[in-house]
Structures are given as C-alpha cells and as structure tokens.
Structure 1
C-alpha cells in the first residue's frame, strides 16, 4: 500500500464541452467521498465554468499529497503529463476519447476503481520523457518535452525530406522519408506503432527510431539505449518540413536545422489500479486473443 491522496485536481480535454457531464460526475462522486476536489485553473477558463469548485493550478499542486485526474483521451493525459513531469505530480487518466492506451479507465469504472486508489491502493508507473532542442546555427530556437515522441516530418508538403542522423556523435544514416519518429516506450503504441515500429514495454530504458514511409525499403525501426543523444539535421526539403512534440504543435524547419533529442531527467508519473498490467491493456485495446482462464 502506498500513500493515500489528500486532494484531487480535475483537468479535462481542451475546449471540449462534451467533457462537462463527466467532470460533473467526477465532482459529485469525489465530494460524496469527502475528498477535497479542485478544478485546474486553465481548464476552468477553457470550459467557461468552474463547476462550483475551487481552482488550483498545476504549480500549486503538491506531488506528495495530490492526485490529478485527467478526463479525456490520451492527448489530454499527454498534455497534463508534459506540465506535471518536472514536479512529479501523479496522474490518473479517465478515458473519454477513442483508443486510450494511457487514459485506460472509463468514466463508468469510477465508483468501483477510484476509492481504493484514493486510499493508497494503486501502482505507480514512471514513464520516460524526451527533451528536444531545435538548433538553427548557433541558436536554440525552441526546446520542449515529449512523452510519446519527437516527430520530424514533411509538414504540409508532398515531397520527402532528407535527414542526416547521428547517435552519440556517430553517423547512422542519411534518410529520405516522409519523416522520422523518435519515440519513448510510451510512444511505441502511438504514431510509431502505426508506422510499423515494435511495441516496447514501458519500463524498458530505450528509444525507438522509426522512419515514416522511407524511400529505401531496407530502412527499419531501430531501438537504442535511452542514454544516447540523437541528432537529426534537415539536409534537403523541396517544400516544407516541421518539428512536432507529441503531435501537439508544429514548428517550421529550415534547411540546416538540427534537432537534438535526449532523455529528460524527469519522468511522467502515472497511476493505475493495483491489479492492472501492461499486457492486460494491450489485450483489451488491440483485441489480442487470450486463452480461457489466462491471467
């Protein structure tokens, strides 16, 4: 048994009115359990309603006592994780999206699953985080965190881009493709999986490099230790190219720009029910066949 939570901070999908019934349901349940409940400050602005709850920002939350419940899909949880990774505030995902590898509980499970978690019966899941820097000459023009992947892609253009990739200063290849995904084990079940990459278990200390529709058919996904530094320089692009972190936004790239990716010193701290495991999630989400009576 781990430490029980003393307060709950609710956050929901960005500017989506469909989350209101779910937020109200969570609010009513938590208050009925005499759990002090808050709504994240920016979330209240986005939905235009405080739900009658006191407001609390991520900066004011306490990693030792507070639980963040993120209502939405994996995108909502990823956005929350990027904001809380450096402080270590734990996050429980309630899925109101589609597939939901990270936000793996449904709103209908709240009354059954939430009380034990609030009392300290849960498992912690520390997920690695990537730190990416965009260098233009001698200037770092952008830096940010990614929980799933750092994506270098052709933007809105039709032509492939060309990237020169190095790992720890050693030349790997010059790749012509629609893009390159540098993913964490968490991101291995996201865009990287759609592009043909392998699934990595979350605790694996690894990074995954997956080319998107490469020009060379022998190009294959590459798994490396997460202690390395990956550098990808844009050497050719006829039209446009861009950098995205967790597909959250796109930053236009210029020829000669270099993206430097390392594992960040912080981790995203996810919370799951005690009995849950990664393979159970995979079976449920990917509809893998399982033998009768198999755990």
Structure 2
C-alpha cells in the first residue's frame, strides 16, 4: 500500500534527539550540531542531553539550546532521532502531537524505521536544509484506562502497549473484545497490542506478524500463552480493542500496563484498557527500503544463492 507523501519545507530549526545511553550517539550528535550551526540553523537538544556538556563524547556549540520535552515548543521544522528504532519512537512520542516530522538516523544494527544510516548524517541534514525530505502518515493508538467506570489514565502509543505480570510470575487472564464482540480470554504472561509501525518490536520477538506500513490495523499477540491454540490476531484498528484484567482472583498477583516502553501504570483487577486509532498520525520521514527489504537484507531471508538463481532463471 502506497502512503501519501508530503513535502517538508527547508528546515531552519531542528531538534536533535540522541539515543539516551550517551556515548553511542553523542559523537554523531556533536557532528550534526556543529554542521547545522555552521549553516545558521537553530538547534536544540533535550535538557537532559544539554546538561551533559562536560561529557568528553559530547561537544555542543554554544548556540545549541536546551528544551524541556514536557513543554516542547511547536516551532520546530524537524526532529532528528540519532540511534535505533527505539530512539526514533521515543522522539516521536514527544513531537507527534505537534505535527513535527521525525527523521531517523540509524546508529544501530537493524533500523527498520530510519531513513538514513550512520555514514549519511551530512547527507540527511543537507536534504533537510534543501527541502528534499517528505513525510508519510503512520498510525498511532489512543490508550485509555478505565477503573470502576471512570477514566484513570490516558496516553498515546506510536509503537505498542502491553499488559504483563509484575514481580509475581502468575499467568494473567485478559478478556479481550474487538469491535464490541468477544475475541478470547487469554491466559498468558501478558498481551501485546501494536500498531503496524510497532509490529517489528516486542510483537516480532513474541512471535507476532510483521505488518506493512499503511495498513489500518492492530495486532494482538499473547506473551507465552498457556494454550498453543491462542495465536496472534490482526484486526481492523477502526473496530477498537478492549482488554480487561479479570484474573487470577485468588492469591497475590500484579499486572502493569506499559505504553511504548515509556509510560507505565499498575493495574487493578477489573481495569479495562480501551485502544482506539488516533486521528492525528505520526509524520515520519520514511526509509527508502521497505521493512521487508530490511528484513531480507539483514536477517538473511533471501537465502545465500537466491538472487543468482533468480537472475539465471530470468536469462532463460
């Protein structure tokens, strides 16, 4: 499915969002900041990054300013995530509601979502300043927690949500409905519900399917289900998904809801989690290669000699 592309105007104010564990991304962040400042671009970094200016791996020009992510201004033309897919998703959570496009520069291994690699930092920034970038809309998920009929918490997921047991390893019973109809009561360590964008994250590790970008779906994947007949399910995002923690009722047990690995709350039995498609999408600068091409190239799906065999058969 082809997604609509929207042009991004030449960037004059950019937020750099490096991977949070420091040294792995700080040299690239320093390179990007210096290159942009030299060309008169306004550059900002999160406050927690700016406070580490004494780190030998981080050399920020004096012109780079700190910004509070909790009160992020909406005047950025672009957010640049320097790290892996997790970094891009964390950056997206802060800027998606502001309609700021996100560009990923992959500093890790797989990098399903990033448009550029480590060796392409200058190329990526040059494209941003020249107005050669475009963004695609990517579906997000609205998350509401209802407790005794009242809204207890609300968040938005770019990637996924999961309900999982806590310190006490008890199988959870999670009654799940789709479009107002019963789907299953999962007896498992937990349950993952993901957007297409997040299908290559925890969902993939748990045996869930990879979903093509642009499909308006949610994927429901049990974590270590008690019964092998409980399989991952792909449903229409427009139907919505409701998950209620119904058990176990005897003895001690705890469960937690986590959104994008960033927002976490402890659940009570009877809590209902309502998952709906979010009207405001993430604006993502897409990679040139599809997620399936990345999988083929980096996970060896194509096979050692498949390309040559295909070439030979074409010649015949």
Q: Structure 1 length as normaliser, TM-score?
A: 0.88
Q: Which residue of 2 aligns with 1:267?
A: 281
Q: Does 1:54 align with 2:67?
A: no
Q: 1:47 to 1:269 in 2, by over 3 A?
A: farther
Structure 1 residue 98: deviation in Å? 4.2
Q: What is the DSSP-based 3-state SS (H/G/I as helix, E as strand, rest coil) of the residue aligned with 2:163?
A: strand
Alignment partners' CA distance in 1, 2:33 and 2:130? 17
Larger mean Cα displacement after TM superposition, 94-103 or 76-85? 94-103
Q: Does 1:80 align with 2:85?
A: no
Q: Does 1:248 align with 2:262?
A: yes
Q: Which residue of 1 aligns with 2:187?
A: 176
Q: Does 1:219 align with 2:230?
A: yes
Structure 1 residue 204: deviation in Å? 0.7
Structure 1 residue 250: deviation in Å? 2.9
1:132 and 1:262 in contact (8 A); partners too: yes
Q: Which residue of 2 aligns with 1:7?
A: 13
1:9-58 Cα shifts (integer Å, max 9, x gaps) = 212223524432111111122234x1503123424445356542332646
1:101 and 1:285 in contact (8 A); partners too: no
Alignment partners' CA distance in 1, 2:285 and 2:48? 21
Alignment partners' CA distance in 2, 1:138 and 1:98? 44
Larger mean Cα displacement after TM superposition, 183-192 or 12-21? 12-21
Q: Does 1:70 align with 2:81?
A: yes
Q: Which residue of 2 aligns with 1:37?
A: 42
Alignment partners' CA distance in 2, 1:191 and 1:71? 21
Structure 1 residue 185: deviation in Å? 0.4
Structure 1 residue 257: deviation in Å? 1.1
Q: Does 1:94 align with 2:105?
A: yes
Q: What is the DSSP-based 3-state SS (H/G/I as helix, E as strand, rest coil) of the residue aligned with 1:62?
A: coil
Structure 1 residue 122: deviation in Å? 2.9
Alignment partners' CA distance in 1, 2:296 and 2:277? 28
Structure 1 residue 60: deviation in Å? 2.1
Structure 1 residue 211: deviation in Å? 0.9
Alignment partners' CA distance in 1, 2:290 and 2:134? 10
Alignment partners' CA distance in 1, 2:202 and 2:292? 19
Q: Which has the larger radius of gyration?
A: 2
Q: What is the DSSP-based 3-state SS (H/G/I as helix, E as strand, rest coil) of the residue aligned with 2:247?
A: strand
Alignment partners' CA distance in 1, 2:265 and 2:179? 24
1:11 and 1:69 in contact (8 A); partners too: yes
Q: What is the DSSP-based 3-state SS (H/G/I as helix, E as strand, rest coil) of the residue aligned with 1:220?
A: coil
Q: What is the DSSP-based 3-state SS (H/G/I as helix, E as strand, rest coil) of the residue aligned with 1:272?
A: coil
Map residues 270-289 of structure 1 onto 2, 5 A cutoff.
270-272=284-286, 275-289=288-302
Q: 1:173 to 1:46 in 2, by over 3 A?
A: farther
Q: What is the DSSP-based 3-state SS (H/G/I as helix, E as strand, rest coil) of the residue aligned with 2:140?
A: strand
Structure 1 residue 62: deviation in Å? 2.7
Alignment partners' CA distance in 2, 1:164 and 1:225? 18
2:11 and 2:129 in contact (8 A); partners too: yes
Equivalences, count:
290
Q: 1:48 to 1:112 in 2, by over 3 A?
A: closer
Q: Which residue of 1 aligns with 2:27?
A: 21
Structure 2: runs of 5+ lacking an equivalent: 1-5, 55-59, 312-316
Structure 1 residue 109: deviation in Å? 1.4
Q: Which residue of 1 aligns with 2:169?
A: 158
Structure 1 residue 239: deviation in Å? 1.9
Alignment partners' CA distance in 2, 1:211 and 1:35? 50
